Structure 1
């Protein structure tokens, strides 16, 4: 019988605890995903599935359902026992690329929404489009570097589930810091437009538009910041503690944002048909709603999509 020293025993206990913590986060993320589908499926079918095809509809489906791959791969990577390092390396690469693409799509949804706030101004569209493109291609190198430098080994004990990451490039931090900056930019643009155009408005549509957008931005910002802290402070085998949750949260919040807007706008259309006084919701024409515009005198007018 092999006797473990106190140091080895403590290391084993901490390794089991860390592996289970990651597993719990993966399970929690999958639970959030399934729960969202169960409560929003009817709304999604009526508001998204039967709507005309558009850029936003394509982005919605990509963001909504690509996370299935992420969840499946992360389950295989962190839940299985006696994990093969070669399989772990492949799974890790797939999960990294899939998560990156999924978050990029979610950020594009938020950018489309932010452009809508500015009346689909070409300057804003081209500016944010350029920022997003630079952000995507700029993060490609640290992601590739991270995948190439990641090293997996067998777990020190069969009691420890999941893959054992022993080495990885810290350059992955660049991706999350740049994500923080991108989301900060969109928060600033949203808050500025809300203050400038809709200060003091009590309209339900306008209030919900900005309330949900700003709240979701700050939720994503907080979770991204937490991921940065994990990368800076956690050991190598805990680097992806919040990756799955961050991916699912981006998909969930962005899709909820679109569903909420379409539901509110549908309510506005019904109220308008019945003679109610409801202001058109200020979102992109690609979302099939009206868009606000500001004339030279600083007054806001509504343009039909």
Structure 2
């Protein structure tokens, strides 16, 4: 292990951690007005609770990670380094799991007549992330035993990393593909069968945000898998914080974009039309399946 390569990788990880934290904080500031207007005034629901849990776990977690990697803080010791090896990855995976739970509800609400889809998506979500958590805890246990505090770089440097760590990124990638397929299929069926103009803004949001999220997150996860499988261990932190920040930012923006999309027909339609759509849009706001009338064909 060359010292120059270790220092260079550490500096790059610091830049990524600072950039990820800056992106998350800046995006939160940009959305604060809409967040208060659209989310803050709504009654409590699962979607609203998950939205704020993403905020609560992401920004403090990224700040903690950036602080730990910062060269400007006070020097650490062996115990603090070992604690960092546990806290940061677990908090990262927990935050990403909450983000995907929020995104899963977005897809589930589009299948109110099909409990099988709901069961499959939730079981897949739980199975993929329980697998990731189990593998992560197993790998962290091995890392904490082998990690050594290096005073020169002021961090704990593990001597090795199990190849199983890639499962932490591969399992959620499987679920992401399943969720994306369910979203695209539902949107295509609705557009072909009903072609409702009142729902087109919502479907445009689902298409645009869903495809964008899938492409970005798939690329980011593949990058992290490559780092953890084929690259030296001291490069492991380079992509972790960026992925964490991107998941949080995109999931929160998708949530707010959906709310904005379902509110537009209410503002543009007549009073009678607005009244008939209010139940559907409010249900989506609350992330609860809308009541389907007998006259609606699916």
TM-score (norm 1): 0.84
Within the candidate set 240, 244, 249, 1:243 is matched to 240
**TM-superposed deviation, 1:168:** 2.7
CA shift, 1:275, in A, is: 7.7
CA distance in 2, matches of 1:170, 1:64: 31
Aligned CA distance change for structure 1 residues 110 and 289 (closer, same or farther; 3 Å): closer
Q: 1:14 aligns with which of 5, 28, 52?
A: 5
Alignment of 1:21-170 (within 5 A): 21-80=12-71, 82-119=75-112, 121-150=114-143, 151-155=146-150, 158=152, 160=153, 162-170=155-163
Deviation at 1:164, TM superposition (A): 2.4
SS at match of 1:154: strand
Q: Is structure 2 residue 202 aligned with structure 1 residue 205?
A: yes
CA deviation profile, 1:199-243 (whole Å, cap 9, x unmatched): 477732321222212221221121111111111122111112211
Structure having greater relative contact order (Cα 8 Å, sep ≥ 6): 2
Q: Which moved more, 1:81-90 or 1:41-50?
A: 81-90
Find out whether 1:178 has 2:178 as its counterpart.
no
Bigger mean CA deviation after superposition, 39-48 or 202-211: 202-211
* Alpha-carbon distance in structure 1 between the residues aligned to 2:267 and 2:8: 54
Distance 1:273 1:116, change over 3 A: same
Equivalent residue runs for 1:246-261 within 5 Å: 246-261=243-258
Q: Cα deviation per residue 1:264-291 (whole Å; 9 max; x = unaligned)?
A: 22222111246889x9698793533796
Does residue 285 (structure 1) correspond to residue 278 (structure 2)? The answer is no
After TM superposition, give the deviation of residue 55 of structure 1 in Å: 0.4
**Is contact 1:26-1:75 (8 Å) kept?**
yes
Name structure 2 gaps, 5 residues minimum: none
Deviations 1:6-46 (A, max 9, x none): xx9xx232222111000000000011011101211000000
Separation in 1 of the partners of 2:272 and 2:292?
25
* Residues 79 and 162 in structure 1, CA contact (< 8 A), matched pair in contact too: no
**Does the 8 Å contact 1:265/1:280 carry over to 2?**
no
Q: 1:114 to 1:120 in 2, by over 3 A?
A: farther
RMSD across aligned positions (CA): 3.0
Structure-1 separation of matches of 2:297 and 2:139: 50
8 Å CA contact retained: 2:38, 2:259: yes
Residue pair 2:81, 2:149 contacting (<8 A) in 1 also: no
1:122-179 per-residue CA deviation (whole Å, 9 max, x = no partner) reads 1111221111222232223211111101132233x63x35442332322221121101
Cα 1:290–1:73 change in 2 (3 A) is closer
> Mean alpha-carbon deviation: is it higher for 258-267 or for 128-137?
128-137
**TM-score (structure 2 length as normaliser):** 0.86
Instruction: Answer whether contact 1:54 1:286 (CA < 8 A) is retained.
Output: no
Aligned partners of 2:263 and 2:135: how far apart in 1?
43
